[in-house]
Chain A
Amino acid sequence: MERSRDYDDIAVALAEARPTPRPDFAAELDELVANGFQRDSQAGRGPLVAISDRLRALSPQRLLFATGGTALAAVVVATMIVASIDSGPAQETDSGGGSLLSGLQSFDGEEQSTEPPRLKGLSAPSNQAAKPSADQELSASSASGTQSSGEVQSSDSLPPFSRDVRHRDIERSAEIALLAEPADVADDSAEVFRAVHDVRGIVLRSTTASGQNAGARFELLIPSRNLGDAMAAFSAIDEVGSRHEATTDITTPTVSVEEQLRDSRATIDGLLAQLAAAETESEMEAVEVELRRERRQAAALQAQLEQLQRRADYSRVSLRIETSDSATSSGGGWGIDDAVNDAGQILAIAAGVTIVGLAIVGPLALIGLLAWLAHRFWLRRARGRALA
């Protein structure tokens, strides 16, 4: 009982011995609170500290909204930049009508297709051939090989061993869309065939459609030296809806294949000399095996070289004739279909930008989160130790 009373006495004494703040300090703190602690925030605080303070003052919901809004704005801005870069060259050559982002359109209705015979020794370049792989040659977009209006990249951007080459091998391609009245599609198509014939070109594939969705599409090979004349002739047939030309420098792979072929032929000559000098049957057989292998290699290289030369000699042209009906069916100059198409493209770009952004920001955010957690853990331990 005595012990309990002592405990209570101590408790009462402690409660009554409670420290109280000095009146001056209390008044000063009252003033600070009334002013929203502005004195400290204005005295020598840098902008980063001020921003940090403002962010800390935000509630988690507002912080989330602010972060989300900032991220969304960044994605929108990046998407606009990427979209404008993508559509930049097309805007220079488009003369109106159709979506900037729309590609070749298919035609419905009555169709007739013609597959003209190919010239001997001239096969149509496959898509792979038309778009060379990155390890073989300079990529069109990444190495500035593809440019609008037929510009060719400067030799400064080429690998060193191809700079001294005097002749450059350039692969060209072009797209052109003509706008025509439905009744004019047949005449325009005939004009296209004539123009192709005049420039000694080849019609790889043609599709014409009549009726409500009248139109035509042509896949052409035009001698590269006549490409300018051909494009001028096509442009004169009817109103040009859009026009795009691109070039790819294939000098490097051509020179490389030429050098390999030269080496291979020298090897063959050497093997032939060895064969002539061979004295035993087994020696001759061994040289002949090597010779056969080298000849196969030389033949493959020769074919590869011819393929590259054909790509340089002939330009692939995609031509389409669109009618006002088909244009109207897709909403006129720019309508619902185009809007959906453009929206899809924009969304795809936005998704790409978001993925790239996440790929950059994600690891940084993870590192930041881990650092923050580590700091928090360390601070808790340090505070705990302060009491020990």
Chain B
Amino acid sequence: MDIAFDQLYRSSRDDVYAYAAGLLRDRAAAEDVTATAFERAYRKRARFNPRKGSPRAWIFGIARNAALDELRRRGRQVELASEPIDAESLAGFEEGERSELRLLLGEALGRLEAGERELIALKFFAGLGNGEIASLLGTSESNAGTKLHRAVTKLREACDGAL
């Protein structure tokens, strides 16, 4: 095990999982994708080229391919899983508000298109910047930002509409 890969793994394991879980909305599938992504990265670690991007962008590229392969295998977008968002992670909200937000966000995310959900997952779950997202999706930063804003707006409108 080389040090660089170990560092990459430790710094991005939770982010990769969060991205996969946000996109797939299935904990088991997200775990599979996360493990697959890191295994592929480990086996191909000698082929990493720093000139093509950061290690973090590289691991997310692999994770994205694994997640999309999982989506293809299923042949459909995954329906809302039973517990897509950790209730414990909403600790900053009041009890009623937290519960309400959990439900609303869960439903709203489930209604988003997979591409929009991916943007949300990359931005808010994996913590990638707009530039990193643009690089990962092969688009411009402004385009990625616009799409992301649209997705958040949709999410907000969905939440507002439900209230």
A19 to B30, CA, bound (A): 10
Give the distance in Å from the alpha carbon of A17 to the alpha carbon of B97 in the complex.
13
A22–B114 alpha-carbon span in the complex (Å):
24
The 7 closest A-B pairs by CB, nearest first: A19-B21, A14-B124, A383-B68, A386-B71, A59-B46, A17-B85, A21-B17
B124 / chain A contacts, CB cutoff of 8 Å: 11, 14-15, 18
Residues facing B in A138-175 (CB within 8 A) are none
B60 within 8 A of A: no
Q: A93 CB to closest chain B CB, in angstroms? A: 54
Residues of A within 8 A of B125 (CB): 14-15, 18-19
Which one of B14, B31, B89, B152 lies within 8 Å of A10 (CB-CB)?
B152
Query: How far, in angstroms, from A59 to B47 measured CA to CA in the complex?
Result: 4
What's the tally of chain A residues with a CB closer than 8 Å to chain B? 37
Chain A contacts for B114, CB-based, 8 A = 386-388
Is the beta-carbon distance between A33 and B71 smaller than 8 angstroms?
no
Q: Please state if B46 and A58 are interface contacts (CB–CB under 8 Å).
A: yes
Kindly specify which of A34-42, A185-193, A302-310, A336-344 makes contact with the partner chain.
A34-42
B43, A37: Cβ atoms under 8 Å? Answer: yes
| Nearest-CB residue, chain B, relative to A52 | B43
Interface residues of A (CB under 8 A from B): 6-7, 10-22, 25-26, 29, 32-34, 36-37, 40, 53, 56-60, 62, 382-383, 385-388
Q: Which residues of B contact A26 (CB under 8 A)?
A: 13-14
A385 to B38, CA, bound (A): 24
Q: Does B42 contact A (CB under 8 A)?
A: yes
B153 at interface, CB cutoff 8 A: yes
Q: Counting CB contacts under 8 A, is B105 at the interface? A: yes
| Cβ-neighbour of B101 out of A13, A18, A29 (below 8 A) | A13
**B44 and chain A: residue at smallest CB distance:** A56
- Also in contact, A60 and B47, with CB within 8 A (given A10-B159, A11-B124, A19-B17): yes
Closest to B74 in A: A386
Q: Are B72 and A386 in contact (CB under 8 A)?
A: yes
A40 and B27 in contact (CB under 8 A), knowing A17-B105, A56-B44? no
Q: Which of A15, A17, A37, A388 has the most CB of B within 10 A?
A: A17
Contact with A along B27-52 (1 / 0, CB 8 A): 10011001100110011111100000
